[in-house]
Amino acid sequence: MLKIVLGDITKVSTDAIVNAANTSLLGGGGVDGAIHRAAGPELLAECRTLHGCKTGQAKITKGYRLLAKYIIHTPGPVWNGGGKGEEALLKSCYKNCLRLAIENGCKTIAFPSISTGIYHFPLEKASVIAIDTILTFCREHTELEEVQMVCFDEQTKSYYEEALVSAQERGNVNE
Ligand code: ADP
């Protein structure tokens, strides 16, 4: 089941939450900074052992002081006009996070809106890619019971809701 909610992902109690990280995995602004502050300094210590992560890939750590057991870190693509493979990279972020979640026995996972903040990916395109990729993955991997899109503002939430309605109209349905 895919739920779109308004809120702060650091407060969510899914098995895993996703961090829209940068390739250093050593923390940054936006949701990344919020997750590091809420999880505590042990998170940075574990991240240092991972030696970064490529754009579109994902790596997992413990959740430390968060309610979530795991944090899945994925560097989204920086939007550079769309001709640099940004759409395929964003899709691979969502897929790789979902794959890592099930490999680690997670039944519930929460995503922020990857790349649509500091990385300037257009919200409309990003929301369609995210929703379609999640719905398709969930149809193929029924062990995932719940996926949440945690939107930090109303405008973001309304784009994801619209993308979900349009996916359902196109027949990409997942209950
Ligand atoms: P990126 O660098 O991938 O663009 P950002 O952190 O700048 O990442 O933004 C991604 C999205 O996360 C934006 O919609 C931003 O408003 C949102 N965001 C920021 N803080 C939080 C939070 N605590 N919980 C959920 N979403 C957040």
User: Is the distance from the beta carbon of residue 77 to the nearest atom of ligand 1 less than 6 Å?
Assistant: no
Looking at residue 11, what is its pLDDT? 98
Q: Whose CA is nearest to atom 6 of ligand 1?
A: 30
DSSP-assigned letter for residue 164: H
In sign, the C-alpha dihedral spanning 1, 11, 100, 74 is positive
Q: What is the pTM of this model?
A: 0.97
Looking at residue 171, what is its pLDDT? 83
Q: Which residues of 59-95 are buried (b: 16+ CB within 10 A; e: fewer)?
A: bbbebbebebbbbbbbbbbebeeeeeebbebbbbbbb
Percent of residues, the chain, with pLDDT higher than 70:
98
CA distance 117 to 114: 8
User: Is the distance from the beta carbon of residue 116 to the nearest atom of ligand 1 less than 6 Å?
Assistant: yes
- pLDDT tens digits, one per residue of 109-140: 999 999 999 999 999 999 999 999 999 999 99
Ligand 1 atom, smallest distance to 123 CA: 14
**Is the model's pLDDT at 175 over the cut of 80?**
no
- Spatial neighbors of 134 by CB under 8 A, at least 6 apart, are 2, 94, 98, 111, 147, 149
Looking at residue 170, what is its pLDDT? 86
Q: Could you write out the DSSP letters of every residue in 44-76?
A: HHHHHTTT---TT--EEEE-TTSSSSEEEEEEP
Please give the backbone phi and psi of residue 16, each rounded to the nearest 5 degrees, phi first: -135, 145
CA-to-CA dists, residue 33 to 20, 25, 28, angstroms: 10, 11, 5
CA geometry: angle 165, 119, 40, nearest 5 deg: 95
pLDDT interval class at 24 (50, 70, 90): very high
Active site residue 32: yes
